[in-house]
Amino acid sequence: MRIAVIQMNSEPDVDANLRTIRRYIAASAKNGADLVVFPEAAMFPFDSGRLDMVAQPLDGPFARAVRRSAEENDVTAVVGMFTPADTVYRQPAGDLKEDPVEGSGEANRFRRVYNTLLVAGPEGTTHYDKIHTFDAFGYRESDTVKPGGRRVTFEVGGTTVGLATCFDIRFPNHFIALAEAGATVVVVPTSWTDGPGKLDQWRTLTAARALDSTCYLVAAGQARPGTSDRYGQNDGPTGIGHSVIMGPDGARLAETGYVAQVLMVDIDPNQVDRVRKTLPVLHGHGRDSAVG
């Protein structure tokens, strides 16, 4: 199975990003890829404007164009986008509530989106809405992003692939549940925040989740914007690069640096069975009915 990992810098321009995505889909397919993985927020970057103003439904023009490109090139693509979710209001205590709060003004009204992974290809279409929102390190993604409610797997040429997004990687049970549902590959589109210690955490977590699930882990990150003198500094949730493909035994098979780059790696899904026979860590875990 050949996988293309696209580490890109999303622009605050949906149409420009769509052109980039379609170009990479076509080029990856031409190079024999079965699966092309783009970052979280490939449609539109964080900290670049209101997400509810750019969000589109799954039958909107952005998703239709991605599906058409994947089908025309006979390849499966995973693309980070935003879809409409709900409207919530901030209560006096600071909590969010779906019903209007008495006396609340426009400043307390939030139109939220789903942080969605669109999966499109010759074997069909599905999507995953990020379950664990990034409410950490002083940032509150849940103010603008509604958490999803189900885990998702899909098929590529007989291989079951699970889906996770960025902050999900801090939750091992998510990956274990995907493995118990049959996944041998888990893709993790990200817009991982840079900052002191964050690269070390990223490398530790990607290795740990591959070992927890004994799956291949394929993480596609946003490239880090800005100049090299900013590396290691916290400039918001805009990306750190370092896309990576981990083996089911925790081996780091390939990794990028900070800047935009493409990884093309061949994996053997049968290796997962061999690793699981010698490292049977999944035994004893119950299946998770929330995987659909």
Catalytic residues: 40, 130, 166
Report the C-alpha gap between 4 and 26 in whole angstroms: 11
DSSP string of 175-220, one letter each residue:
HHHHHHTT-SEEEEEE-PPP-TTHHHHHHHHHHHHHHHHTSEEEEE
